[in-house]
Structure 1
Amino acid sequence: MSIPAAFDYHPAQTVDEALSLLQQYGDDAKILAGGHSLIPAMKLRLAQPEHLVDIGRIQGLSYIKEEQDTIAIGALTTYTQIERSDLLQQYFPLMVECASIIADQQVRNRGTIGGSIAHADPAGDMPGVILALKGEIVVQGPGGKRTIAADDFILGAFETALEPDEIVIELRFARPPAHTGSAYQKLANQASHYAIVGSAVVLTLDANKTCTAASVVITGASMKTERSRAVEQALIGKQLDTATITDAASHAADELELVSDIHGSEEYRKQMASVIVRRTINSALERIS
C-alpha cells in the first residue's frame, strides 16, 4: 500500500490557527512540518490522521539567532539552514556536523529541527544532538508557552512530553564554556541513513586537561534516544587518556534497552555502541582548543 488514507488538509497561517485546529479535531489531527517522517508513515498507512494541520507556512518560526548567552532556533528551521549557519558553526559545530549527514539533500531541504524532536525517532540524528547539548524545547498550547528540558522531553520511542494540543515553536541552547569540544558519529543504515548506532558527545576540560563536564548520548541502539550516564560518570574528573576513554566507552550500553532487528542484534549493537562512543569521544577531544 503506497497511497495514504483519505484526509482533510488544513494549511495554518499562524500558531494560534494551528492550535485552534488541533483543539477542534483532537486525536484525529496530526501536525505536518517538513513531512519526511509523517508522509511515508501515511503512505504505508502506519498513520491515518483524518486531518492534517500544515504548519510549514507559518511565518516567524524559521530563524537562528543569538540572544545574550543563548542561541535560539525556530522550530521550522531546516537542516540545510543549520548546516549553513555560521553562528552555529561558531558555537555548536556538533549541530552543523550532524545536519550535514542526515539522509540526503532533499530531506535536509525540507526536514525541520522542531519536527525531528517532536517525532522522537530513536534512530534519528538530531534528537541525540539536542539532548547532548542540553537544549530546551519551547512549546505552545492553549494555555500559553512552556519550556521543557531536553532530558525531560523524550519519554520513549516516538513518545515525548508534548501534549496533543501543543506545538514545538523554538529550541534554545546555552553557549558552551571555553575548552569545549563536540562530535557526532554513527554507523548508518546505507539505505535510510538512519543510525543503527550513533553517538553525540560534548566534553569540557579545565586548564589542567581534566574533564569537568561530559554529555554522551546514544542513538539507534535502544528503544529511545538517551544519555549514557555510565560513560559520563567514567569521564568526569579524569584526564582523558586512551585507557580512560576505552574503559568509559565499554560502558556505553550498560543502561540501554537494546533493540534487535534485521540491521543488528542486541549483541552487535552493544559492541558497536562501545566502538562508536570511543571514536566520538576521541573526535570531540581533538576539537578542544
Structure 2
Amino acid sequence: MARVFTVLDLVQPDSLEEASQILFKKRNNTILGGCAFLKMGSKRIGTAIDLSKLGLSYIKEQADFIEIGAMASLRDVETNTLLRESFNGMLPKSVQNIIGVQFRNGVTVGASVYSKYGFSDLITALLALDTEVELYKNGRMSLAEFLGKPYEKDILVRLWIKKNKRLANYQSFRNSASDYSILNVAVSTLDDRWTIVVGARPRRAAIAKSASSTLSKENLTDKEIEDAAQKAAEELSFGTNMRGTADYRQALCRVLVKRGIMEVLQCKSK
C-alpha cells in the first residue's frame, strides 16, 4: 500500500504570530519540519506551514545557555563545534547514526522534539541534560514537563540547554549502523547528582528516577553501578515490536546503563 501525504496549500509566514494564526485556523493545518517522517506515513494536510523564513535554523551560545532554533537540522547538531565540545559531545553522538546524512539534513530539531517520538535518539540525550523547550503559546518549560503533557497544538520555537559542567554519555544498540535504535540510553552527572534516561523502549524516553538517586554519591563501587543498572531495568517498562522483545530490551538496558555510567566515570577521572 502506497504511503502519501497530501498538502492542499503551503504558506511561509513572516512571523510566529502569523504562523500561529494559520495553525489554529483549521484542525488539519500543520507545521512542517523537514517532512522526513511525514513521508513515511499517510496524512491529509489542509495548510502546511513552513517556518523557514523565520530565522530559526541556528545553534548559538548565550551567556548561560546553548540555544537551538527549531529549524536546525539533526545534521547541524551532528556537526556543530559548540555541541561537539559540550557535554562530552553527547548530542552529536546521539544523532550521528540516524538513517543517513541526507535524512539528517532534512529532519529538524523542533519536529523531532515536538512529536515526542518513542524511537527518538535526540530526546533521550536532551532529557539527560538541563533542557527546556520554548513554545509560542505555552511558553518555556523543562523538557521533562513538556514530554509529560498531553499533545496540544502549538509551535516549538527553540530549545535552551543550560551551560554547566555536566558530564554525559550516550549509548544505543541497533541491528545495523543506520537502523532505528532497539534501545538507547543517556547518562549524565553534575555535582554527583546522576540522571539515567532510557528511550526506544519502544516507548518514549523516561528518566529512571530511582536508579538515578542510588548513584548520587562519590566513589561508586562496581556493585553500586551494577545495582543501579539493574534498578533502571526494573523500574522502567519495556515493550515488544519488530526490532526486539520486551525481555531483550530489559536485558539491553542493564548493559547500556552500566556502560554509560562507566564512560561518564572515565570522563570524571581525566
> Same fold per TM (> 0.5)?
yes
Please give the alpha-carbon distance, in whole angstroms, between the structure 2 residues aligned to 1:49 and 1:255: 39
SS in 2 for 1:50: strand
TM-score under structure 2 length normalisation: 0.91
Indicate the residue corresponding to 2:38 in structure 1.
Answer: 38
1:204-219 equivalence runs, <5 A:
204-205=190-191, 212-219=192-199
SS in 1 for 2:60: strand
Indicate the residue corresponding to 1:167 in structure 2.
Answer: 155
Indicate the residue corresponding to 1:253 in structure 2.
Answer: 233
Indicate the residue corresponding to 1:54 in structure 2.
Answer: 50
Indicate the residue corresponding to 2:21 in structure 1.
Answer: 20
1:199 is aligned, of 170, 185, 190, to 185
Please give the alpha-carbon distance, in whole angstroms, between the structure 1 residues aligned to 2:262 and 2:44: 44
Indicate the residue corresponding to 1:120 in structure 2.
Answer: 116
Please give the alpha-carbon distance, in whole angstroms, between the structure 1 residues aligned to 2:180 and 2:110: 18
Of 11-20 and 101-110, deviating more is: 11-20
Please give the alpha-carbon distance, in whole angstroms, between the structure 2 residues aligned to 1:135 and 1:152: 10
1:238 deviates by 4.2
Q: Give CA deviations for 1:189-230 in whole Å, capped at 9, x if unaligned.
A: 43862221110111235xxxxxx2111110111422111112
Please provide the CA RMSD for this pair. 1.9
TM-score under structure 1 length normalisation: 0.86
Q: Percent identity?
A: 26
The size of the alignment, in residue pairs, is 267
1:1-289 equivalence runs, <5 A:
1-4=1-4, 6-14=6-14, 15-25=16-26, 27-41=27-41, 45=42, 47-55=43-51, 57-92=52-87, 93-141=89-137, 146-155=139-148, 161=150, 163-164=152-153, 166-177=154-165, 180-190=166-176, 193-205=179-191, 212-288=192-268, 289=270
Question: Which consecutive unaligned segments of at least 5 residues does structure 1 have?
Answer: 206-211
Please give the alpha-carbon distance, in whole angstroms, between the structure 1 residues aligned to 2:202 and 2:40: 22
Question: Which consecutive unaligned segments of at least 5 residues does structure 2 have?
Answer: none
Please give the alpha-carbon distance, in whole angstroms, between the structure 2 residues aligned to 1:5 and 1:137: 28
